[in-house]
Amino acid sequence: MSPITPASELEGDSECFGTPLNAAIKSQHHDLTITILDLMKLANVKDIRDCLQEAVIVDDIVILQYHLHHAQPILLDEQLSLTDALIESAQFGRVNAGRRLFSFINENYAAIINDDLLTKSTYYASFWGHVEFLELLAQHGANMEDKLTGEGLSRATPIMLAAWRGNTELLRWLMRGWTKAQLAKHACRAVIAAIDGDQVESLKNLFEAGVRESLYVKTEVTNYSFVPFFTTLTEHFTTLSSTPL
């Protein structure tokens, strides 16, 4: 039988636990995790990336802090690991991990916090409806009205993703404090996204926010003809719900 090493793959009764390092991080046994990290003397990008990923997923600030400090010489040459970790923290809504990563990056590699990183992080946080993480991104310069990149709706804004996914908490948060001009700017795209996603509650929230008067504006967002807009909207809405707007 081969000896078990820190890099050995382990299996449990119901799922694969990965390596001893993965299992220790998931279990949040800090002393054990630090001992394994010291034994492994992480020296390659894959190990560093895997460790960052696990620490982010469980939102373990103790291990994240320790690992960032000890892996810093390699991270200097491989900053992609840091951007991947930040994007992943946005995807899982790990605010504590995201806050620590932002702090570490600002102190050591501030140049990598650019529009591309912020829009990708905003996309994933918006897609999964992580309002608190979006607040963190906004503090670091993310624009909640920007068009984003990623899967799903092409070049969607956060409000389009919220409407399309039916995330009413995010929808309300995004529109809070918006001016009439901001609502008018995003109204048609958001309503079409809600229709495309078959999201009745999103439509109701948009109408309650006062987008109705903006929907007569001509738009190129779809191939639909808006003359007037509500003719098309009514046709679509009958397939969504029998509840009137």
The whole-angstrom separation of Cα 18 and Cα 180 is 52
The answer to the question of residue 121 being in a domain is no
Q: Are residues 158 and 221 in the same domain?
A: yes
Region 71-77 average pLDDT: 62
What angle do the packed helices 180-196 and 158-165 form, to 10 degrees?
40
Region 140-156 average pLDDT: 77
Identify the pLDDT of residue 6.
45
With 0-12 / 13-18 / 19 or more C-beta atoms within 10 angstroms meaning exposed / middle / buried, residue 79 is middle
Identify the pLDDT of residue 125.
96
Listed residues 80, 112, 144: the one ending a domain = 112
Identify the pLDDT of residue 188.
82
The parent domain of residue 162 ranges over 152-245
Q: Are residues 90 and 162 in the same domain?
A: no
pLDDT greater than 50 at residue 8 = no
Binning pLDDT at 50, 70 and 90, where does residue 224 land? Answer: very low
Identify the pLDDT of residue 115.
92
The answer to the question of residue 171 being in a domain is yes
The answer to the question of residue 19 being in a domain is yes
C-alpha to C-alpha distances, 207 to 123, 132, 231, 244, nearest whole angstrom: 24, 24, 16, 12
* H or E segment and range at residue 149: none
Q: What is the pLDDT of residues 10-48, one digit of tens each?
A: 444 434 456 777 788 888 878 887 787 777 766 566 777
CB 62 within 8 A of CB 53: no
The answer to the question of residue 126 being in a domain is no
Identify the pLDDT of residue 90.
96
Structural domain count, the chain: 2
pLDDT higher at 235 or 31: 31
What global pTM score does this model have?
0.74
**What value does the CA radius of gyration of the chain take, rounded to a whole number of Å?**
22
With 0-12 / 13-18 / 19 or more C-beta atoms within 10 angstroms meaning exposed / middle / buried, residue 172 is middle
The whole-angstrom separation of Cα 178 and Cα 159 is 12
Residue whose structure tokens are 């098309």: 232
C-alpha to C-alpha distances, 223 to 129, 192, 230, nearest whole angstrom: 28, 11, 15
